[in-house]
Structure 1
Amino acid sequence: MISKQVTMQSGCTVHSNESRVAINLPSPNKNDNLRGWTTLSSATYNGGLQSFTSSRCGVINIKVPPTYDGINPNPAELIDTAIKADTDVELDANATVGMMTAANLNTVRTSSRSSKGVVVDAIVTAGISNARAVGADADCFFLKRSDDTNEHCPEPGTINTVVIINTPLTESAMIEAYAIAIEAKCAACAELSVLCSKSGMIAQGTGTDCLVLACPSFKASHYDNPSSAKPLPKCNSIEYAGKHMLLGEFIGQAVKEATCEAILCNIRELHGSIYRYHLHRYLRWITNLILCGARPCVPPYPMMPVPSAPMEVLALGVILIITSYLSGLILLPRKATVLLGAAAWDRCLPSVPLAIHPVVLAGKLISLVTKQVIPNKVYQSPMLGLMAGTAFLLGTLLLFWLGGEIFLGCADKIVSLSSNVICNSAENICSSNSFKVDATAFLLWIVEVALVETTFSLQLLCTIALQMAKFLERYQIDEARCQLSWLCSRDPSELNREELAGATLESLSENLSDGTIAPWFWYVFLGPSGALGYRIANTLDSRIGYRGGQYEWFGKPSARFDDLINIIPARLTAILLCLAACITGKDSCSVKIGLATAWRDCTQCSSPNAGWPMAAMSGILGVKLEKRDEYCLGKGHRDPQPYDIQDGQKTAQGAGALALLTSIVAISLITKNIDQ
């Protein structure tokens, strides 16, 4: 294999080919006071603070396959074998710092700075496929746990940096110089706008970066009696290496220059040009944001409000909502654009304030009536309970149906009046009557979108599921148990890690049906009032429709009505989950087993509907979903793991996208038939 050789200003020799980059550090002369080299690094092989006295000191950066998982074979053994097999350079394995990369080693670039006998050399190789911003979601936990498999490891790519200084540094100066080198790498990433492959934010490097800092070390006699040691010409031990110092400037400039060139080489290799790279990254991020994953605003602690989305996500939401409205002018019926706009709102924008949220208002009304209005004797009598429960169900549905109609009617009047006032006060702007009509129509459309958005919540569901996955991946069991109460009413105090993961998947699939697919189904046929009515009925069932307890008979009408209106949506959800798994094409997801499991195990649950989506999710992921002493869906499958929540969340998002598309098509067909 042909090897290129470059001699740097510090005297080190760089040997590079497609399989490794090896750096020979110069041997100390017999007449000086240097005894070898001191290195500070985050390297896998001979990392940390090391001191070497061998005449064959060096640094090696070996190429590994893109599929290498960092575990097997052992990294130290892999590097040790590469060093001993390299007959061209002949480094001492005990005096060599070793790194690994899956990036193309043809990206190796060098840069030097020198003045008054002080030389700084930088040697960099770069791959940015797994670029990461600080604080971005992790891909694995310890990288040594059995479930941290290669399937869940990031894409290959590493920025490996070697900084060689020909002057001895104190330990504190080495740490300072090391920090400057890292900052220079971050500056290079910022200058080229390298984007995090997870969040779309500016990255500061990749998830596997390594940096080696090497400088000469004095002989022991020099430290024992510095005054008697032979002085080194212009090469005294340096104590400071910050940004105010010339050495800090040299390190920053050399590392930044070499890193920029190496990254540009990698970008041209992968994408042809930096402009195509940025286009690819933005399109990939936007596609992932819209179709695949939740917005990056998962709360760091349980039971905390969901943080506001970043500005670019909010801007994307506004663009999508406006696009939804404009699509109604040329293509879609108004009813379909309202649902499309509501889905965009749910994806990117915060929900309406809880103080006016219909579901919250319904919950407060239920608590008020059941605790302060209805006497206890009603709950104790089966006959009175059934009659009162039926009346309460019908009355609540009627109240909120009328409330929704009154709300939209009042909004129509208020918007029309406001438009008249604004247009009268700004005659130059609103000189045409068409502008007034268009503005009024758009504002009314926004009001209806806001109302429909309150009837479902796919984004919040997936966000909480992702938070559960985070807690479980980090073995934060107490936090996960606390957070589970946001998803279901099950007592989490005795649940282990696998049971918590299973409960999350069960809630994810069941709430996908109850909280998204069903409201959309009833919106298609009955409009906003149908979606709102369904949501109120579902809230009644969740508050008073459970078996046993005080509301055993009073809640039965609500429970049975909820079962009735979920018969079709629950089965549609199971089918959509299987179709979504087919589209995502993950090896771990089985569509055939999902359908078979849904058909076989759907009757195990006490609810006639909940078993369908939960059993489908069980079969799709190949996991067992079990509730102690009640049911076991997917019997014979393995126990669920935290990474299954990630796959389940993506499948749920895909099912939601299919449901949205199906709803829009159905609305268009129904509207077309009505018009004819």
Structure 2
Amino acid sequence: MKLAKFYDGVELHREEKMVYARLVAPHRVLSTCRSCSGGLHDDLQYIYNHQSCEPAGGHMNSRMHILAVDRPEEYKREVASSHNLPFQKCATLGTAANMNNAAICHERFQDLEVVTVCTGGVEGNAGRAGDPASYYEPQEESADERAEKGGGLEPGTINAMIFINRELLPGAMVTAVLTATEAKTAALQELEIPSRYSEGLATGTGTDQIAVASRLGGRAIAFAGKHSKVGELIGRTMHDAVLRTLSLQNGLTPAGQSSSLAHLERFRIDEQEMCQGIGKFLSKDDADLFKKSFSNIIKDPITVAAVAALVHLRDKFVWGILPKSCTAEIMVLYGAQISAAVSGKSQRINDYMQMLSSLQKSLDKQFFLEFVYQAFALGFSEKWADPKSEGCGGAGCGDEEAAITQ
């Protein structure tokens, strides 16, 4: 099915598990295609993004996925031939994402047009550049080693096809990829996507792919960085396409990420673990009530802001921006913000600071999470408390302090 046509130079089609672009006019193409069509070419006629496997359910070792990883030329030939495309003239991108969730973004400035088509998924394979890796290509390897290497890749890929109606010089094509990559990372940062391989925020996925096509002819553009108009359009369309496709594929939206758990997922916890961690510092009745109220509590904007602040400040310590000698003071101050947000009693923040000051403060993941859990528990234990029992030295103060230090 034909989806759209842009600047009389490119047609977009979707057929079964593939979205492909027919280059009606000659284009220069730079792509991450693993076959001989990868790299820089001026003679390609098609670029396609193909769903080679399912993203979950044990289908990652499907035949087409293994071909895509281990025998890219054979993979390209089979996919292209099944859709009556000349495989010698095709550049290939492969993914587990649903092609019906592809996002198309189009921007103009005077005579300049940029179109970005993006698919994406980040739930299994999001990573931060420099994270520990497992994929290695030695100079010599057996067939068994190649199969094991290909089968070890996790699902989750952001793929982009970018089309520009003006010619870009070869160097500008590379700059366009840089600009698009930064735009993708900006979108992931806005969504607070966690790395699945470290405690950092993701900058992409481990298998991201891209193809940039610029129409040949006329005065060529020499620069596609952030200071250029073509770079601006590439950045905007890539950023918006990533956000749209992740909304469709993974249900990830800015509003949906307004959750305390979304900011703590980087530490490999889920709802059950968070409830159990906080429940340890509550009475049984309060723990049961917290579990029932979990969704409302973690999505409260004031609580989300307090948790996000503390997690981000931890990053500042890890990155060396803040001196670690200030860890205790800052954790107590912002932990008390969490307690006050959960209880809804901001006037108690000084009391919460006093109670939290006796706890262990550390950037270590386990100790950090324990501190956050206790800050939640302290606030929740007072959420429905009788106001007459509040205040430093009041009847409830000693009980709460004992509860969070047990």
TM-score between the two structures when normalised by the length of structure 2: 0.60
**2:39 corresponds to:** 48
Q: Distance in 2 between the 1:179 and 1:284 partners?
A: 26
1:309/1:248 Cα in 2 relative to 1: closer, same or farther (>3 Å)? closer
Q: CA deviation at 1:435?
A: 6.0
Q: CA deviation at 1:280?
A: 7.2
- How many correspondences in the alignment? 291
| Alignment equivalent of 2:119, drawn from 116, 125, 130 | 125
1:174/1:348 Cα in 2 relative to 1: closer, same or farther (>3 Å)? same
Contact (CA 8 Å) 1:10, 1:119: kept in 2 or not? no
**1:75 corresponds to:** 72
**2:225 corresponds to:** 242
Q: CA deviation at 1:281?
A: 8.4
Q: How does 1:21-100 map to 2 (within 5 A)?
A: 21-27=19-25, 36-45=26-35, 46-52=37-43, 57-66=45-54, 67-68=60-61, 71-72=66-67, 74-87=71-84, 91-100=85-94
Q: Distance in 2 between the 1:39 and 1:111 partners?
A: 19
What SS is found at the alignment partner of 1:160?
Answer: strand
| Larger Rg computed on CA atoms | 1
Contact (CA 8 Å) 2:126, 2:206: kept in 1 or not? yes
1:111/1:434 Cα in 2 relative to 1: closer, same or farther (>3 Å)? closer
Q: CA deviation at 1:198?
A: 2.7
1:25/1:345 Cα in 2 relative to 1: closer, same or farther (>3 Å)? closer
Give the AA of the match of 1:250. Answer: L
1:110/1:278 Cα in 2 relative to 1: closer, same or farther (>3 Å)? farther
Q: How does 1:515-664 map to 2 (within 5 A)?
A: none
Q: CA deviation at 1:77?
A: 0.7
Q: Distance in 2 between the 1:247 and 1:198 partners?
A: 34
Q: CA deviation at 1:442?
A: 8.9
Q: Distance in 1 between the 2:80 and 2:115 partners?
A: 22
Q: Distance in 1 between the 2:61 and 2:247 partners?
A: 24
1:197/1:278 Cα in 2 relative to 1: closer, same or farther (>3 Å)? farther
Q: CA deviation at 1:283?
A: 5.4
Q: Distance in 1 between the 2:3 and 2:49 partners?
A: 15
Q: CA deviation at 1:137?
A: 2.2
1:205/1:437 Cα in 2 relative to 1: closer, same or farther (>3 Å)? closer
TM-score between the two structures when normalised by the length of structure 1: 0.38
1:436/1:140 Cα in 2 relative to 1: closer, same or farther (>3 Å)? same
- Confirm whether residue 348 of structure 1 aligns to residue 366 of structure 2: yes
Contact (CA 8 Å) 1:9, 1:112: kept in 2 or not? no
Contact (CA 8 Å) 1:120, 1:165: kept in 2 or not? yes
Q: Distance in 1 between the 2:365 and 2:228 partners?
A: 49
Contact (CA 8 Å) 1:9, 1:121: kept in 2 or not? no
**1:408 corresponds to:** none
Q: CA deviation at 1:24?
A: 0.2
Q: CA deviation at 1:152?
A: 6.9
Q: CA deviation at 1:123?
A: 0.9
Contact (CA 8 Å) 1:102, 1:157: kept in 2 or not? yes
1:42/1:150 Cα in 2 relative to 1: closer, same or farther (>3 Å)? closer
Q: CA deviation at 1:431?
A: 5.2
Give the AA of the match of 1:138. Answer: A
More helix by share: 1
Give the AA of the match of 1:51. Answer: D
Q: Distance in 1 between the 2:363 and 2:203 partners?
A: 31
What SS is found at the alignment partner of 1:261?
Answer: helix
Q: Distance in 1 between the 2:365 and 2:184 partners?
A: 34
Q: CA deviation at 1:346?
A: 8.3
After superposition, the C-alpha distances for 1:102-155 in whole angstroms (9 at most, x for unaligned) are 111111111111233221111111121211122222143239774573797243
Q: Distance in 2 between the 1:442 and 1:345 partners?
A: 22
What SS is found at the alignment partner of 1:173?
Answer: helix
Contact (CA 8 Å) 2:21, 2:48: kept in 1 or not? yes
1:6/1:346 Cα in 2 relative to 1: closer, same or farther (>3 Å)? closer
Contact (CA 8 Å) 1:68, 1:150: kept in 2 or not? no
**1:7 corresponds to:** 5
Q: How does 1:308-319 map to 2 (within 5 A)?
A: none
Q: Distance in 1 between the 2:28 and 2:21 partners?
A: 15
C-alpha RMSD over aligned residues: 4.1
Q: CA deviation at 1:86?
A: 0.7
Q: CA deviation at 1:157?
A: 1.6
**1:149 corresponds to:** 148
- Confirm whether residue 183 of structure 1 aligns to residue 178 of structure 2: no
Q: Distance in 1 between the 2:19 and 2:365 partners?
A: 46
1:244/1:280 Cα in 2 relative to 1: closer, same or farther (>3 Å)? closer
Q: CA deviation at 1:100?
A: 0.6
Q: How does 1:209-288 map to 2 (within 5 A)?
A: 209-218=208-217, 235-268=218-251, 274-275=256-257, 279=261, 282=264, 285-287=267-269
Contact (CA 8 Å) 1:13, 1:24: kept in 2 or not? yes
Give the AA of the match of 1:109. Answer: A
| Alignment equivalent of 1:16, drawn from 4, 10, 14 | 14
Q: Distance in 2 between the 1:435 and 1:116 partners?
A: 67
- Confirm whether residue 138 of structure 1 aligns to residue 133 of structure 2: yes
1:430/1:81 Cα in 2 relative to 1: closer, same or farther (>3 Å)? closer
Q: Distance in 2 between the 1:64 and 1:187 partners?
A: 27
Q: CA deviation at 1:14?
A: 0.8
1:309/1:181 Cα in 2 relative to 1: closer, same or farther (>3 Å)? closer
Contact (CA 8 Å) 1:111, 1:122: kept in 2 or not? yes
Contact (CA 8 Å) 1:10, 1:165: kept in 2 or not? no
Q: CA deviation at 1:26?
A: 1.5
1:76/1:442 Cα in 2 relative to 1: closer, same or farther (>3 Å)? same
Where do 5+ consecutive residues of structure 2 fail to align? Answer: 55-59, 274-316, 321-326, 336-358, 369-390
Percent identity, please.
25
**1:388 corresponds to:** none
Q: CA deviation at 1:200?
A: 4.7
Give the AA of the match of 1:49. Answer: L
The one of the two structures with greater contact order (alpha-carbon pairs below 8 A, sep at least 6) is 2
Q: Distance in 2 between the 1:281 and 1:433 partners?
A: 34
More strand by share: 2
What SS is found at the alignment partner of 1:274?
Answer: coil
Give the AA of the match of 2:105. Answer: S
1:197/1:184 Cα in 2 relative to 1: closer, same or farther (>3 Å)? same
Q: Distance in 2 between the 1:345 and 1:110 partners?
A: 42
Q: CA deviation at 1:216?
A: 2.7
Q: Distance in 1 between the 2:135 and 2:150 partners?
A: 11
After superposition, the C-alpha distances for 1:384-435 in whole angstroms (9 at most, x for unaligned) are xxxxxxxxxxxxxxxxxxxxxxxxxxxxxxxxxxxxxxxxxxxxx8656996
What SS is found at the alignment partner of 2:42?
Answer: strand
Contact (CA 8 Å) 1:189, 1:204: kept in 2 or not? yes
Q: Distance in 1 between the 2:263 and 2:156 partners?
A: 15
1:26/1:310 Cα in 2 relative to 1: closer, same or farther (>3 Å)? same
Q: CA deviation at 1:211?
A: 0.8
Contact (CA 8 Å) 1:137, 1:198: kept in 2 or not? yes
Q: Distance in 2 between the 1:247 and 1:77 partners?
A: 35
After superposition, the C-alpha distances for 1:355-411 in whole angstroms (9 at most, x for unaligned) are xxxxxxxxxxxxxxxxxxxxxxxxxxxxxxxxxxxxxxxxxxxxxxxxxxxxxxxxx
